[in-house]
Amino acid sequence: MHTLRRDLLRSQFALTWALFEYHLERLEPEDFLWEPAAHCWTVRQQPDGKWVPDWADTEPDPVPVPTIAWLTWHIGWWWSTALDHAEGRTPQERTEVTWPGDGQPAVKWLRALREDWLEVLDGLGDADLDAVAPFPWQHDPEYSVADMIAWVNSELMKNAAEIGQLRLLRAASRG
């Protein structure tokens, strides 16, 4: 049963990544910082060259529309945190996860995270899937590592759809 569950999670991840890759391959550097609305979140380059994402500890109402840059940073942040937990490392603080920049640097970063995640998945045994997941539920014994993997798949699917929609909207807005 565990092998079947692990295989299902792996195939779900492969499908999610394939759908995401469709958009990653088509992103242009100008897509990343395109602001689709006046009220949006993005990443802003500081004088020292570091990119800093817009953020609020309490979700604003209305929720700002994210840019592709912000979404790619967000994926990098939560995925880096999931990887840290899965590998038993102390996770980086949100402010320590730095966006690498638009275009190929961001795409390369996301593809590297995928490779790291595949290594984690390849290293899991049947018993590992039932272990308590430390993320994103903060040590809630109700959730397992298998639940965390399913969450990563779902979160990636959601963010990939958002990026794809923004890419299509920007292309349509240019005529």
Burial of 106 (0-12, 13-18, 19+ CB in 10 A): buried
Is residue 66 situated within a structural domain?
Answer: yes
The answer to whether position 88 is within a domain reads yes
- Asked, for residue 55, whether it belongs to a domain, the answer is no
Expressed as residue numbers, the domain containing 77 is: 2-48+61-173
Please report, for the domain that includes residue 101, its CATH number.
1.20.120.450
Q: What is the pLDDT of residue 2?
A: 62
User: Facing residues of 45 across strands?
Assistant: 51
Q: How many folded domains does the chain comprise?
A: 1
- The answer to whether the peptide bond before residue 100 is cis (omega within 30 degrees of 0) is no
Is 124 part of a structural domain of the chain?
yes
Identify the DSSP state of 58.
S
Please check whether residue 74 lies inside any domain of the structure. yes
Q: Is 103 part of a structural domain of the chain?
A: yes
Q: Any idea which of 7-21, 60-74, 86-100, 130-144 has the lowest mean pLDDT? A: 130-144
Greatest mean pLDDT among 138-147, 156-165, 166-175 lies in: 156-165
Give the residue-averaged pLDDT of 24-42. Answer: 96
In a domain, residue 72? The reply is yes
> Quick one: tokens of 40?
């949006």
Is pLDDT of 133 > 90? no
Span between the terminal Cα atoms of the chain, in Å: 51
Q: What is the pLDDT of residue 96?
A: 95
Q: What's the one-letter identity of residue 111?
A: R
pLDDT tens digits for range 47-97: 999 999 999 999 999 999 999 999 999 999 999 999 998 898 999 999 999
**Which of the four pLDDT bands, split at 50, 70 and 90, describes residue 138?**
confident
Give DSSP secondary structure letters for 1-53.
Answer: -HHHHHHHHHHHHHHHHHHHHHHHTT--HHHHT--SSSSEE-EEE-TTS-EEE
Q: Whole-angstrom Cα distance, residue 130 to residue 146?
A: 7
User: 89 CB contacts (<8 Å, ≥6 apart)?
Assistant: none
Q: Is there a domain that residue 84 lies in?
A: yes
pLDDT (0 to 100) of residue 99? 97
Reply yes or no on whether the pLDDT at 3 is more than 80. Answer: no
